[in-house]
Each structure stands twice: as C-alpha cells, then as structure tokens.
A and B are shown apart, each in its own frame.
Chain A
C-alpha cells in the first residue's frame, strides 16, 4: 500500500487536549521500542480555528501526524470512524485523548494482534472511578454482553487495536464505532480482550443523566437491528406487524361474536373502546408489515453492496495444472493468487 506503515494511532479530539504532546511522545516511544513504523491520525471534531492553532502548537516537531478537520462537531464516535477510514497502517490502534491509560499498555494489545487476534479491546481494571460510575458501567456492559452475545467487560475503553481487514470489511458509518468489537465478532473476526491499567478518569461523577442513557439505548436498538436483520428486514417487521394484525383481528372478532351471541351485558360495538383499539392495531400492523416490504426492496436493490460474509483465506490446488489442461484452456488456471491483500496467511 502506498505510504503504508505498521501501526496507525487514531485519536478523536473533541476538546483542547492539554496532554496531546505527552500522548504523542509517549506512545511514539513505545511503538519505536517495538521497531514499528507508525503514524498518528488526529480527528479534530469541529474545534474552530483558535483551538486548532493551539492544538497544532502542542504537537511535537517531526512527529508523523496527519490531521483530519471536521468543520462542525459530529461527536467522538463519528470522528473515530473517520479516523479509522483514513488509517493506512496494517494495524490500527485507537487511543484515549487524555492520559487515561498507561502508554505501556499498548504492548499487550499489539502482542494479541500479533497472535492471530483481529480485534483487541482494552479492559480497564481496576477502575479508578467512584463506585456509582463503576456500577453504571458494569450494568451497561453486562446488558450489552447479554444483548449482543459477545462477552466483553469494557465496551467504552478508549484503547482498541484492530487489523486493517476489520476496518475494510466491518466499519459502517454512524454512531457505532463503539460497537466495532460486536460487529467484528458477528462477521467472524477473532475478538479478544486485554487488561489495561486505568490511571485516572476525567468527566462527570454520579449519574450520567437521562439523555446519555436514552441515546445509548437507541444506539443499542440500531445495533441489534443492524446485526440481526440487515439482510432480512421482513423477519423483524413481518413478525411485529403480523402479531399486531392478529391481535386486532382477535379483538374485533370477539366484538363481532359478542354482538351476535350476546355474551356480555354491553354487546353493541359502537359503545366500546375495544373497537377503536382493534381497528388501530390492524392499521398499525399492516403499516409495519409493509414497512418491512419496503425495506426488503431497498435491500434487494442494493444487495450487491450487502456482502454479509467474510473470507478468511483462499488456497489454490496443491499440484500444478496438467499440461493438457493448460493447453486446452490457456490462462484459465495460471493466475492463481495465494493471498489477496489484507488476507491472513494460510494454515
């Protein structure tokens, strides 16, 4: 690859980052110690001219840094996604934007990547937060593990190491860079976890506020939908809509039978709220179902881009083709490629 390096470090900068210089220097030292070539990709999330200038003044001279500027703020996750896309390294490591972790902990992450893991998430243990934050974080990660089926202890750790292939094959736009381990696992990549030391925590104490939870919840819903029903939306919409229609029909049917046979005291459907509810349920059900059909058409027309499998390796025949076969079909068997770019080595 042109301008390729071993490791790209990606940082999403959403504020002034007073420690930027230390971060770049220290992680550079750690990577240089492993004799790896590296680069930094800093994504400036709509910081404005003054802060950008201040940030640049803090960068160590001669450091291999590339800057990505957003004209307005899109948030940390979108910034990280943009940084991942820009990365040129064989391995990509996301770093926290302040000295939250010990820079030496980049080694276990890279070690794990060396041993066949495709994505390695950091696990901050022990946490230095107040107990209330730890409790929330613990609960959040437990719920996510249960929902997604991927056993990870710390989805929000700023340190994640991944192979290029993960970015090429898994990364999608949106607020999901946090959930990259989950998406990668779904696509069959090997996902691991290493313990890292937690030095300090910045940010608020106590409860994060209702808005944070609501947004997290929506992200989770999007993620669930993304991982389970991307290619088969009607399996989701169809069942939901079908159940609604059935419920509505059952309710209306009951009213009709009641009217005919006079089971209860009040048999005239006009005076009963159940009628409206039943009708509304049918209406909603049909709508949900046809939403599913629309989604199916959209998927079908774009299916060329929805490749839902990933190839680990491709191996050619062990013996060369026979001469006769080669004469009969010139060129048909000669262009064997052992491994494409970004594929892992054979057995």
Chain B
C-alpha cells in the first residue's frame, strides 16, 4: 500500500493550524494506509511555531520543517516535497478552508491512474469581488493557455504521485502553474469537487497586488508549456513572421514611391518600419539559437520538460 504524505505550508496561522491538525489526524486514521504530515512553517512570526510544537510532541505523524524566513508558498511547497517520504503527496492550505475529509476522494482518483488530481472549490466561501472574480478570470486564461479544462487552478488541495511531482521544477510562485506544467510533460491531470469552508481565524495573505506578476508569469507559462523543449520553434516562428512583414513593407515602400499621393510618406515611414521588422526578425532568430544553446548544454535529467512515460509490464 502506498504511503501518504500530507504537506501543509503555513504562514502565520496560529489560530487555524491547531484545529486543522486535529481534524486531519482523525481523517488520516480513517485512511487505511501509513501516513505522515509535513507542515512547512514558512517563517511565521505569530506563535505558529509554538502551536506546531505542542502538536508535534503529541503526534506520531507530524513532522515540522521551519524555513529561515518567509519565502512564499511555492518555496514552502518545494521544501515540503523535498522532505516528504510518501509515494503519494497531498497538499492543503494551513488556514482550515480545505476539508481533510476530501483526501480520501482525491486518493481514490489517483488510484484510477491520474498523476495529479486537483481540487475544485465549486462553492467558494470567499468574497466575490476580491477573490472569486479575479480567480475566475485567471482560471479562464490558464485553461486557455495550458489547454487543461480545470475550473480551479488555484486550489491548494491537490493529490500528486510523488514520482511525478519530484520531476516538476518548482520555483518562484510557480505553484499555481503545477497543473499546467504537468500537462506540458504529458501527465494525466484530473479534477474533483472539494468542500471549502470560511476562514476560522486570521486573514488571507492574498490581495489584488499580485496581478502584474501573474500576467508576466502567464506569458512565461505559455512559452514553457508549448516550447520549453524546442525554443527555436517559438522564436523561429516570431522571426519568420517579422521577416515576412519586413519584406512586405519594403515592397510597399518601393511600390508607393511611384504613386503620387503617398510619395513623401512612404520614403521614410515604410522603410523605417521595415527596418524595425528586419532587426527584430534577426534578433528573434538569435534569441532562439541562444535558448537552444542553454538547453542543449543541460543534462536531460536536470530539466523538467522531458515527456513523461508510463511504464507497464506486459505479460502474455
């Protein structure tokens, strides 16, 4: 039977983490498999560490990892994945909004052959304007970019096959994109409805200020999902496109000089835009080559973009 690691990143959740751990231990007692809980204390300053310590001393499952300062949720998750020892990982929020009772369902889905099962907070208990609306917009865009039909990319309650998540490179706010990156390497991604409770205590650590970060991150994700293994194709397409534009503009510039009305316009405007396009075209090509250079000098086992393959023993 596969062993289970539940990974919980927490930051200043003194009031919520205690009740959550009690519920979680009860839920894990019901799940008939060996399990551990890895709580990653992401540099909390409000006494969360003491609350965790009280639980740890009375627990057979709870391991506590403390980071040196607050590094953010992605780093906390990465540290948790690194430290966890199970064959199957479940991640959940430390604020008690996820329900430990949902874990059994996620595990059942993993048994069906999924590599990643993402929770879907269908009935979210958050403010509509500040949390649900921006989240819905982000989910639409992410679904479009990654080609994954998920409703809720941001839900922390997810179940992973350990062998798979250890291959995904996780850094700098990428946790939201795990499903997308997973799909990019050909993992099987599923979704399951989960419960969502209002916050017990404390306040949310998210706000609208992260929008611009999300935007640049999405540009990166789109590029990585489709072209991480072949960057020359990405930049090459851009290069060919701009080169075509440049040729067309040059042609127009020559044609237009013979016409009467636009003679003055075309001698400067058309050529300068054409020069712009020519420059960019060559530039893109060089960029693509540079990426290939960076990529081809990396050992394959160090990169996260190699396609996943499922192994099957064939017996006749």
Interface residues of A (CB under 8 A from B): 187-189, 231-232, 234-235, 238-239, 268-271, 275-276, 279-280, 282-283, 286-287, 290-291, 293-294, 296-322, 325, 328-329, 332-333, 347
Contact = CB atoms under 8 A, between A and B. Distances in A.
A187 B68 contact: yes
Nearest to B77: A309
A306 B171 contact: yes
B60 A188 contact: no
B42 to A, nearest CB: 9
19 contacts: A232-B172, A232-B217, A271-B264, A279-B272, A280-B276, A286-B280, A296-B223, A300-B224, A300-B304, A305-B302, A309-B78, A314-B65, A315-B66, A316-B63, A318-B56, A325-B60, A333-B34, A333-B36, A347-B53
B161 to A, nearest CB: 17
A270 B216 contact: no
- The 5 tightest CB contacts between A and B, nearest first, are A188-B68, A188-B69, A231-B172, A318-B57, A309-B75
Contact of A297 (B65, B67, B295): B295
B108 to A, nearest CB: 19
A297 B66 contact: no
A231 B212 CA distance: 16
A122 to B, nearest CB: 23
B64 to A, nearest CB: 5
Interface string B269-305: 1001101100110011001001100110010001111
B290 A275 contact: no
A322 B59 CA distance: 10
A192 to B, nearest CB: 15
Most buried by B among A299, A301, A303, A313: A301
Contacts of A305: 302
B163 interface: no
B66 to A, nearest CB: 5
A259 B235 CA distance: 34
B60 A322 contact: yes
B79 interface: yes
A275 B269 contact: yes
Contact of A294 (B171, B172, B275, B290): B290
Interface in B38-56: 43, 49, 53, 56
Given A308-B171, A315-B66, 7 more contacts: A188-B71, A234-B217, A297-B291, A298-B291, A303-B170, A308-B75, A325-B60
B303 A301 contact: yes
Contacts of B303: 300-301, 304
B58 interface: yes
Given A231-B172, A294-B291, A312-B66, A300 B228 contact: yes
Interface in B67-101: 67-69, 71, 75-76, 78-79, 83, 85
Contacts of B53: 315, 347
Interface in B212-254: 212-213, 216-217, 219-220, 223-224, 228, 231, 235, 238
Contacts of B267: 270
Contact of A269 (B78, B216, B268): B268
Contacts of B68: 187-189, 309-312
Contacts of A287: 280, 283
Contacts of A320: 60
B254 to A, nearest CB: 16
B130 interface: no
A125 to B, nearest CB: 28
Contacts of B62: 317-318
Given A303-B169, A329-B3, A309 B265 contact: no
